[in-house]
């Protein structure tokens, strides 16, 4: 196997306030390889976006943040890079496609000018070359009239068109790693499919690694090669996408899959995960998921000992952080959800 493009090792991110400390990310580790798509899933507040923003050093400077661990991008530790190195790396070796393009595009600058700025930041190009490349990028992401859209302002474009502009901007310098943070939020289903097709084509063209942050498990099933499931700042399960969907080995993953609406069978109601995610300033002792877990049954080890992420049998790629993952081994998703329904 080739060396990973990105290797996050024991990453911890703590926000400090006057009265308390909030550990938003706690000991997160995973890798991304060239040409691979890694899906990062979990409820809001689980630490998905903070993990990647801390790796890029894009957390607000006004926040009091303490970060530890390593985030190696092509062998370079981003957490210890100088500002000059970060300016060279961001946009060139790694690009972020943010969740809300309307707040990320400058409303008073034309689309072409913003794309040109991304190009000029990492290469010396003439004005004519800049325009030609920008129009090519807009055409490559499926904008219907790229010459026209080059001269338009962000408010003149629809939400889907703005998201395509952000993808074009991310691909401007052919980065080796793309990070897409909820790229289909607030888009209708048809536009979502088009945006993901564009992302897939862009990735295939450059063999870039892709980190896909999303709540949409259907999107993960379609796009991802591997999945990282996060809860309360921890990675609770990780593995190949087929293994995660066929044989989940953490109760939280089972709950996420069970909360999906079904298009077949006799299911006539959704099965939500009981309770709410914990306050990150007051995470429960032991397993952070145990107050909501349908398989804990109040067992002491769940309440007192934090489970470590360990391989399942001989499969080193499928790992879970559950004291009783063996109890889920021989049960199908249908069986697990039936048990959950009976308990509820």
Largest CA distance in the chain: 68
CA distances to 13, 53, 54, 178 from 65, rounded to whole Å, are 7, 12, 9, 24
CB of 253 within 8 A of CB of 244?
yes
E strand or H helix at 29:
strand 21-32
pLDDT digits (tens, 9 = 90+) for 48-102: 999 999 999 999 877 789 999 999 999 999 999 999 999 999 989 999 988 877 7
pLDDT digits (tens, 9 = 90+) for 233-283: 999 999 999 999 888 999 999 888 887 776 666 666 677 888 899 998 889
pLDDT digits (tens, 9 = 90+) for 147-201: 999 999 999 998 888 988 998 898 888 899 999 998 877 677 887 888 888 888 8
Q: pLDDT over 70 for what percent of the chain? A: 92
Neighbours of 95 (CB within 10 A): 24
Running DSSP on this structure, what letter comes out for residue 291?
A: G
Contacts of 27 (CB under 8 A, 6+ apart): 10, 11, 12, 69, 234, 235
Domains and CATH numbers, the chain: 6-224 (3.40.50.300), 250-343 (no CATH)
Buried b (16+ CB within 10 A) or exposed e, 201-214: ebbeeeebbbbbbb
Running DSSP on this structure, what letter comes out for residue 78?
A: G
CB of 74 within 8 A of CB of 5?
yes
In angstroms, rounded to a whole number, what is the distance separating the alpha carbons of residues 134 and 116? 7
CB of 304 within 8 A of CB of 285?
yes
């Amino acid at each position: 196997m080739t060396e990973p493009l990105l290797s996050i090792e024991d990453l911890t991110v703590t926000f400090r306030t006057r009265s308390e400390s909030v550990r938003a990310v706690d000991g997160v580790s995973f890798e991304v390889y060239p040409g691979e798509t890694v899906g990062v899933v979990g409820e809001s507040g689980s630490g998905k976006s903070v993990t990647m923003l801390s790796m890029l050093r894009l957390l607000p400077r006004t926040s009091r943040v303490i970060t530890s661990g390593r985030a190696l991008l092509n062998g370079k530790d981003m957490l210890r890079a100088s500002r000059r190195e970060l300016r060279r790396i961001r946009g060139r070796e790694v690009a972020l496609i943010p969740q809300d393009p309307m707040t990320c595009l400058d409303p008073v600058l034309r689309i072409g000018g913003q794309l040109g700025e991304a190009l000029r930041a990492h290469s010396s190009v003439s004005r004519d070359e800049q325009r030609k490349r920008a129009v090519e990028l807009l055409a490559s992401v499926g904008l219907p009239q790229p010459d026209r859209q080059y001269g338009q302002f962000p408010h003149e474009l629809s939400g889907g068109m703005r998201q395509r502009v952000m993808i074009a901007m991310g691909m401007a310098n052919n980065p080796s790693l793309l990070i897409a943070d909820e790229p289909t939020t607030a888009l209708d289903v048809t536009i979502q499919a088009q945006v993901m097709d564009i992302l897939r084509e862009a990735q295939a063209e450059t063999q870039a690694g892709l980190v896909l942050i999303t709540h949409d498990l259907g999107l993960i099933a379609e796009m991802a090669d591997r999945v990282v499931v996060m809860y309360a700042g921890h990675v609770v399960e990780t593995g190949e996408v087929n293994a995660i969907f066929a044989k989940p080995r953490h109760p939280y993953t089972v709950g996420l899959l069970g909360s999906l609406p079904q298009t077949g069978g006799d299911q006539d109601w959704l099965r939500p995960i009981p309770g709410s995610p914990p306050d990150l300033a007051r995470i429960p002792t032991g397993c952070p998921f145990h107050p909501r877990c349908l398989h804990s049954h109040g067992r002491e080890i769940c309440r007192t000992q934090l489970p470590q992420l360990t391989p399942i049998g001989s499969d080193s790629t499928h790992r879970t952080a559950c004291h009783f993952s063996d109890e889920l081994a021989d049960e199908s998703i249908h069986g697990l959800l039936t048990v959950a329904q009976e308990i509820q």
